[in-house]
Structure formats: structure tokens, C-alpha cells
Amino acid sequence: MMDPPPPDAVLAACRALQFRDHLGIHIKLQGVPFPDNWIYIHSKEVKMARLSNYRNFSPVMAGSVAEISPVTAEYFATRGDSVWSSTDEALIALALQEMKQMKLIRSDKQALAGFVVRSAKAYPVMEIGYEKHIGLVKSWLKDFENLLPIGRSGMFKYNNQDHAIATGLLAARSALGLGKFDPWLVNIDAEYLEEVNGR
């Protein structure tokens, strides 16, 4: 989006950075299929990656209605692939079929309602060699004083929400002239970073 555009090498580095896309298949289920908050699913026999039951975070998430579970089945995809391109109905049916296969539900009649949310570019792909590409982009960006990269996609970092917010706060402090803070240093040691800056 930059005008004039970055050098070709920087553009090529940007294009080499890939993202995975994500689908959340949200289903209101009759019953409580499992007692955990979520289950990470590694079996190659199913496409599902994670299954959450929000009732197990708090019954309030189920409207405090007994025997109802709002569950989310998560799938990774690449835009245009067979999972991404499936209809919402087919995706809900897939999630129910895989839950049955894993013996978490007995019948897809337990599903009372469902909807799908597709999120493009949800996960940065940390491939071998990605550091070289992000390093080139970063070194080109550092010459701009009025452009502060922040957040998960903005920095191509596999950040959690708290890290993403921390990068924004540091950038805001720099923009307000409170000092020169480096959002690239934000990681799991963010508290340490705050201490060093004395703020």
C-alpha cells in the first residue's frame, strides 16, 4: 500500500510471508460433550484442530440454561481450499460428524443451531527462513519516523492479545514523545521490558 512502493526486494520479502486462514464453527449443542474448556486435537483422522465448550468457562456463557453447550470447532485452512470453500451447512455437518467420530456426541440431532465465521490471515506461518524476510521488511521500515508497526499481522509475530496490546501502548508512548520505545522487543518478557524503561 506504500506510495512510492518499497524496493523490489522488500516487496518480495513481504510476499514470502504467508498466513493461515481460520474457520470457527459455532454450534449450540444439547448436552455437555466434555468437561474441559477446550481440547487440542492432533489426530490425523479428523480435520478439526481445537474444540471449545464455553459452558465450561462459565455456565453464564450458556445463558445459564442446563444441558446446553455453546461449542466452537476450529479448522485451519488456506483460502480457496476445500475446507474454506465448503458451505456453512457442510462445515457444520463436518464438525458434527467429527465430534461423533471422536465419540463426543451421539447424534447430530444434538445440534440446535450453528453458524460459521471465516477469518482470513489469522495465523502468521513461521516457516524456516521467515526471519530473513521479516528482517528485511523491518530494516526498511526503521527509516520511517512516522510509521510504527504494531500488532500480530502488523509485525508478523505469533503474538497473543496482551503482546499485541503492549506493542500498541509502546508505539503510542513513542508517538506522544514520551521516549523511544521499541515494539519489536515485546515478547513473553514484556514486564521486564517495562521495568527497564522505568514506566
DSSP letter at 12 equals: H
41 binds ligand FAD (CB under 6 A): no
DSSP 26-66: EEEEES---SSSEEE---TT----EEEEGGGT-GGGGTT-T
**Helix or strand holding residue 30 (H, E):** strand 19-30
**Contact string (CB under 6 A) for ligand FAD, positions 74-93, x = contact:** x-------------------
160 binds ligand FAD (CB under 6 A): yes
55 binds ligand FAD (CB under 6 A): no
Compute the least distance from the CB of residue 20 to ligand FAD, in Å.
Answer: 9
DSSP 3-state of 21: strand
Which of 30, 86, 97, 153 touches ligand FAD (CB under 6 A)?
Answer: 153
Residue 126 CB neighbour total at 10 angstroms: 14
97 binds ligand FAD (CB under 6 A): no
Strands (E), 37-169: 38-40, 50-53, 68-77, 111-124
Which of 159, 170, 171, 183 touches ligand FAD (CB under 6 A)?
Answer: 159
For 38, the grid coordinates are 477446550
Specify the stretch interacting with ligand FAD by CB under 6 A; choose among 85-93, 108-116, 135-143, 154-162.
154-162
133 binds ligand FAD (CB under 6 A): no
* Cis status, amide bond into 4, omega within 30 of 0: yes
Compute the least distance from the CB of residue 163 to ligand FAD, in Å.
Answer: 7
Whose Cβ is closer to ligand FAD: residue 153's or residue 174's? 153
* Side-chain half-sphere CA neighbours of 13 within 13 A: 19
Give me the sign of the Cα torsion angle 12, 82, 48, 74: positive
Whose Cβ is closer to ligand FAD: residue 77's or residue 110's? 77
Which residues here bind ligand FAD, judged by CB under 6 A? 22, 74, 119, 122, 151-154, 159-162, 164
